[in-house]
Structure 1
Amino acid sequence: MDIRDKVVLITGASAGIGLATVRRFATAGAKFALVARSADVLKHLAEELQSQGSDAIALPADVSDPQQVRGAIEETVRHFGRLDVIINNVGQAAVGTIADLSPDDFRKIIDLNVFGPIAAMQAVIPIMQKQGGGLIINISSVVSKMSIPGLGAYAATKAALNMISDTARSELVSENIRVITVYPRSTATDFGKNALGTPRVSQQRREGSPMVDTPEFVAEKILFAALHEPDEQYMDS
């Protein structure tokens, strides 16, 4: 898809991979609906983009709440008249071995990492059907293809998102709605610091990471995926 003048909604837009993706897509000429919980940060980011000539609106929302997700998507369409690309980027980890993982933490990340994207997809699919197509990009993780001690819960949520993406891709292909799954590796953000669960496990994981990408590197891959529309986008391809 040619991104110039396309309306792009990004969740988790206030920091990390989401923020880097906003800035990279801005260079490609996108218009933005910025979604995150940090209202002040989003407001300043929207103002920054507007000062640079990009049309952007700030839509503070908790993506784990389906009603807030639907509200953000509806407001995007009211403002721009359409929604061409949605990037389900926001996510959180819960660390801990299977023996000591908190069920409450697991439920929280399921709500955010799985039901959040599902709510967004269910809200945006009818819109894209009416406008003749669109692009859904779900940000997964390479750990969903691995078995890493302490990250089983997080990997499980991303594995669930993978299957949702694969199934939706098949279901929507005839309606020109394309679904892409992106698989970041370990990335230099505050993601690990914000993980729920046992800090000791999280710290061991960060220290043992063989490769750490920059958010800008991942954002470049996300833009490449939007432009070329592979079914899956890995960081080494």
Structure 2
Amino acid sequence: MNLENRAIIITGASSGIGEATAKKLAKHGAKVTLMARSEDKLKALKSDIENEGGKALVVPGDVTNKKDFDKVVEKTVSEFGKVDGLINNAGLMPLSFIDKLKTDEWEKMVDVNIKGVLNGVSAVLPEMKKNDNGDIINISSMAAHRYFPGGAVYCATKSAVKMFSEGLRQELAPKYGINVTSIEPGAVATNLTSTITDEDIKEKMSGMLEMETLESEDIANAVYYALSQPKRVNINDVYIVPSEQK
């Protein structure tokens, strides 16, 4: 199946996985709504997509703000006539050891990584139910499967996203035709680690950064794979890690 004329909202679209996914889906015919806080970066991405013949809509917003998400859905419906898909990609990873008590960072991860996903689903669900159709793809992490030092809160948030995705799938796919996928990448070459303030964690991360990591395009390909299946097929989980990662 191609994605011709499917209207898809992508959060965290200004860089990394979100940017690569927007380009990939637009290349295959999707009309993409770009959501992030950086309007300038979104406008640059929109220009890149349109220069390649794609269609994109810029709606700046913060995933932790329900009203921002409602505005994104409203403008998507106004511009494209519907909402066919949501890629919940926005996330933070300020890793730290628990005894450092970086509680502000814990709360930010919960707000963005969990509440941001909840806000996205609650915003698009009425439209998808009305159309008896849709795809929700949540970007979780291999951290949903295994703990690693300094990742207690991050792992917990991504585990929540994985389990929430399965609950969504069981409740929405049979009743409303809304397929749900959790994509769980290992190490990806993005700026996700830039939010780390714990110096001990930065030192430990240096070894991981020496290996060949995944590229954002690899995750975009996984998103496209899930979206391009026949309607009868729901890809539950995509667990994708670098070949060198243990």
TM-score by length of 2: 0.91
CA distance in 1, matches of 2:115, 2:8: 20
- Partner Cα separation in structure 2 for residue 71 and residue 101 of structure 1: 35
What is the letter of the counterpart of residue 181 of structure 2?
I
Q: What amino acid is aligned across from residue 183 of structure 1 in structure 2?
A: E
Q: In 1, are the aligned partners of 2:9 and 2:83 still within 8 Å (CA)? A: yes
1:66, distance to aligned residue in structure 2 (A): 1.7
Q: Quick one: distance in 2 between partners of 1:148 and 1:74?
A: 40
| SS of 2:187 mapped into structure 1 | coil
**Number of equivalences:** 236
* Counterpart contact for 1:95–1:101, Cα < 8 Å: no
Residues in 1 aligned to 2:66 and 2:203: alpha-carbon distance in whole angstroms: 32
Moved more, 206-215 or 21-30: 206-215
* 1:94/1:153 contact within 8 Å kept: no
* Structure 2: segments with no counterpart, 5+ residues: 242-246
2:235 is aligned with 1:230: yes
Change (3 A) 1:204 1:158: same
* SS state at 1:205 partner: helix
Once residues 7 and 63 of structure 1 are traced to their aligned partners in structure 2, the CA distance between those partners, rounded to angstroms, is 18
- SS state of the match for residue 221, structure 2? helix
CA distance in 2, matches of 1:8, 1:169: 18
In the TM superposition, what is the alpha-carbon distance from 1:135 to its structure 2 partner? 0.2
2:22 maps to amino acid: V
**Structure-to-structure mapping, 1:66-215, within 5 angstroms:** 66-173=66-173, 174-195=175-196, 197-208=197-208, 211-215=212-216
Change (3 A) 1:231 1:203: same
Task: Give the match for residue 219 of structure 2.
Answer: 218
**Deviation digits for residues 200-221 of structure 1 (CA, Å, limit 9, x no counterpart):** 3034124235551011111111
Distance 1:12 1:34 in 2: 8
RMSD (CA atoms): 1.7
Closer/same/farther in 2, CA of residues 185 and 8 from structure 1, 3 Å limit: same
Using the TM superposition, give the Cα deviation of residue 94 of structure 1 relative to its aligned residue in structure 2, in angstroms.
Answer: 2.2
After the TM superposition, which segments of 4 or more aligned residues of structure 1 sit over 3 Å from their partners?
Answer: none
Q: Secondary structure in 2 aligned to 1:60?
A: coil
Q: Gaps spanning 5+ residues in structure 1: where?
A: none
2:123 is paired with a residue whose SS is helix
Percent identity at matched positions? 33
Please list the CA deviations of residues 114-170 of structure 1 after superposition, one character each: whole Å capped at 9, or x if unmatched. Answer: 001101101111100111210000000001111100111111111111111111111
Inter-partner Cα distance in structure 2 for 1:132 and 1:164 = 20
